[in-house]
A and B are shown apart, each in its own frame.
Chain A
Amino acid sequence: AQSVTQLGSHVSVSEGALVLLRCNYSSSVPPYLFWYVQYPNQGLQLLLKYTSAATLVKGINGFEAEFKKSETSFHLTKPSAHMSDAAEYFCAVSDPGGYQKVTFGTGTKLQVIP
């Protein structure tokens, strides 16, 4: 069975500071990994995804994540936080052999302090 663990249900950063949201995965096969963002009262939007190509993945809104097999991690980073980044972020994993069956982490709420 595959799973992801997001460390920290709430993270606060100052505007302009580095954003680091942690995600560790567990999978018996090389996984596909995703980061989604959810704004209040909205659905999820894909930020980026890793599908066994380049280990450093660049996404939208200046976010990127690096797949580290040795650490079973897929942490999300952004060099400089913006107020508009305040939202809930979900890490997710899927089995390449499974059709769209995605397992989500519990989410991390990002607060950006002006």
Chain B
Amino acid sequence: KAGVTQTPRYLIKTRGQQVTLSCSPISGHRSVSWYQQTPGQGLQFLFEYFSETQRNKGNFPGRFSGRQFSNSRSEMNVSTLELGDSALYLCASSLGTSGSNQETQYFGPGTRLLVL
């Protein structure tokens, strides 16, 4: 069974540009969560999608958005990039059974974004 895949693995952008990151969950998983990891702020929850709906959201500005497709694949978009957006962006998938927070999240290897 294939794991969570994220593309691209590395990305370099300049300030003001926008970027789209992609996450393909484990087959059968319907929940996809996104996290930002930086040396200064650590791991921070961005948002979670389940069945194409955003179910939960962290404390990030509106420049950070996401969506989920009918096949559970998810994309994350960051507009008007700032230097501080340089980070490792991790995606995690789980079954997403409604009402359950006990499920194990499986993480992808991440996309490392560098903003110059």
B64: interface (CB < 8 Å): no
Asked if A51 contacts B105 (CB within 8 A), the reply is: no
| Chain B residues near A100 (CB-CB < 8 A) | 31, 33, 48, 55-56, 92, 94, 96, 101, 103, 105
Bound Cα distance A49, B94 (Å) = 14
Interface of B is mostly: strand
Bound Cα distance A106, B40 (Å) = 9
CB closest residue in chain A, given B55: A99
- The segment out of B12-20, B71-79, B106-114 that lies at the interface is B106-114
Report the minimum CB–CB distance from A95 to chain B (whole Å).
7
Report the minimum CB–CB distance from B56 to chain A (whole Å).
5
Given contacts A43-B110, A46-B105, A101-B58, 5 further A-B pairs with CB under 8 A are A42-B110, A43-B108, A44-B90, A92-B43, A100-B103
